[in-house]
Amino acid sequence: MKQLEFKEFYGADRDVCLRAVLASVGDRQLAEDLVAEAFTRAWTGWAKVSRHPSPRAWVVRTALNTRVTWWRRRRREVALAEGLDVHGPPVTDAALDPSLLNALRRLPQRQREVVAFRVFLDLDTAGTAKALGIAPGTVTAHLARAVATLRGELVSVPQQEDPS
């Protein structure tokens, strides 16, 4: 039973979780590695994870926490070179518009996380706040800033002709 239930969860939610993590981290290979690690942890703790209010949010939060752990470990091992582009090359993903992904990766980390949970996982403000460990008002503020930034980068307003 446990195996079948997890298999259905994985099949139904893997791509959604991957898109949410990809939107947050901006690197396809890293997102795939993080999601694989998070689903592995979900499998080993499925009795607990299956009772979570939002198992998808649990997977994405675990993936993002794993990224922080890996980053801290790597930071100690490798010093960044002066002027190194820490954001890496532009992101491409067949399921998402490349211009959207590239605009997302330019947002501050917390804004990317809020967008990932609110938009890609379709969590409400309270669920996002709980998953990220922040106040609901902070979620709202970060989402508003992210949307304003993305709108400014992605939406072109047609110029009106001068009537004179």
Count of C-beta atoms within a 10 Å radius of residue 136: 14
Give pLDDT, residue 159.
Answer: 59
Q: How confident is the model at residue 153 (pLDDT cuts 50, 70, 90)?
A: confident
* Global pTM value: 0.64
> 161 pLDDT exceeds 80?
no
Give pLDDT, residue 69.
Answer: 75
What's the CATH fold of domain 2-79+93-154? Butyryl-CoA Dehydrogenase, subunit A; domain 3 (1.20.140)
Give pLDDT, residue 82.
Answer: 43
| Average pLDDT across the chain, whole number | 82
Residue with tokens 């072109």: 156
What is the per-residue DSSP string for the chain?
-HHHHHHHHHHHHHHHHHHHHHHHH--HHHHHHHHHHHHHHHHHTHHHHTTSS-HHHHHHHHHHHHHHHHHHHHHHH-PPPTT--TT-SPP-BTTB-HHHHHHHHTS-HHHHHHHIIIIIS---HHHHHHHHTS-HHHHHHHHHHHHHHHHHHHPPPPPPPP--
At 128, the amino acid letter reads T
Which tokens go with 142?
């970060």
Q: How far is CA 48 from the centre of its chain?
A: 23
Q: How confident is the model at residue 72 (pLDDT cuts 50, 70, 90)?
A: low
| Proportion of the chain above pLDDT 70, given as a percent | 77
Beta bridge partners of 96: 93
Residue bearing the bigger pLDDT, 156 or 103: 103
Count of C-beta atoms within a 10 Å radius of residue 104: 25
CA dihedral defined by 107, 108, 113, 116, rounded to 10 degrees? 0
| Proportion of the chain above pLDDT 90, given as a percent | 50
> 34 pLDDT exceeds 90?
yes
**Over the stretch 100-116, which tens digit does the pLDDT of each residue have?**
888 888 899 899 999 98
Which tokens go with 58?
């649990």
Q: How confident is the model at residue 120 (pLDDT cuts 50, 70, 90)?
A: confident
